[in-house]
Amino acid sequence: MIDIHSHILPKMDDGPELWEETIKLCRMASKDGTKAIVATPHIMDGLYNNTRSEIIEGVKELRKRLEGVVDLKVFHGADIHAVPDLVERIKKGEAPSINDSGYLLLELPSHILPMEIYNLIFELKLNKLTPIITHVERSGWIHDGLGAIFKFIELGALIQITAMSITGGFGRSVRSISKRLLKKGLVHIVASDCHSLRFRPPGMSEARETISFLLGKDFAHKLVRENPLCVVEGRKIESFS
């Protein structure tokens, strides 16, 4: 499996505080069957002012520390909160796409969906950048219907949901929305979005098994391995809807 969304670098956001915990998170991911992980610290103005170069430095350090200790490939990325000048920031090299592939994690406001989001996605696509909208299943606005999700996909964005949402870690309602999205073919990627060993641990195997049971092994494989690999390598992903 390839996990494209994780908060594993220490002291960068609400992930781990110490390198020891980072290594434990990586070991846990690896034991669960994850072969590669993208470190995606939050980038959110005023709260997490992480830059592309700081994240790359963190990934370099992590690679060194994992050598001969844990068998896990690490790439750089960021969990980028939506801002109007995002294209410019990426072009300037302030915010990174995943492994510089042109695919980027885009976090939307969780309660109300601003209409400008559609323009932002359009602008990103015009600039050959593909946003992967993160954990839509945990957003308040999803209860207004799936219209927004269809529109995101129509505009060329991809949809990522969280492994723990599928297995019930965020409660019944999030689990049922996740299953609905999966069954309708509105999910392209599953990721762990891990933050900690205890409450938000890494690992996607349980979610993979649930998806296999619901929709078949091949489909599950697509969401946890094939599509994430396309993201890391900058190759095209086909929509299913």
Strand partners, 48: 44
Which range, of 12-20, 122-130, 157-165, 193-201, touches Fe ion by CB under 5 A? 193-201
Least gap, CB of 135 to Fe ion (angstroms) = 7
Determine if 137 is a binding residue for Fe ion (CB under 5 A): no
Residues 6+ apart with CB under 8 A from 168: 175
Compare residues 11 and 217 and give the one whose CB is closer to Fe ion.
11
Residue with tokens 């072969």: 35
Surface-to-core class of residue 21, CB atoms within 10 Å of its CB (0-12 exposed, 13-18 middle, 19+ buried): middle
Q: Does 193 bind Fe ion (CB under 5 A)?
A: yes
Tracing tokens 């994992």 back to the chain, one arrives at 66
Piece in contact with Fe ion (CB under 5 A), picked from 16-24, 123-131, 146-154, 187-195: 187-195
As measured in angstroms, the least distance from the Cβ of 200 to Fe ion is 9
Contact 37, 5 (CB under 8 A): no
Q: Nearest distance from residue 216's CB to Fe ion, in Å?
A: 28
Least CB distance to Fe ion at residue 7 (A): 6
Beta carbon nearer to Fe ion, 21 or 215: 21
- Residue among 147 and 187 whose Cβ is closer to Fe ion: 187
Q: How many residues bind Fe ion (CB under 5 A)?
A: 2
**Alpha helices (runs of H) in 92-226, residue ranges in sequence order:** 116-126, 147-154, 163-166, 172-183, 205-215, 217-221
Q: Which residue is nearest to Fe ion (CB)?
A: 79
Q: Nearest distance from residue 194's CB to Fe ion, in Å?
A: 9
Task: Tell which positions 76-135 bind Fe ion, by CB under 5 A.
Answer: 79
H-type alpha helices, the chain: 19-31, 52-66, 86-91, 116-126, 147-154, 163-166, 172-183, 205-215, 217-221, 227-233
Return residues touching Fe ion (CB under 5 A): 79, 193
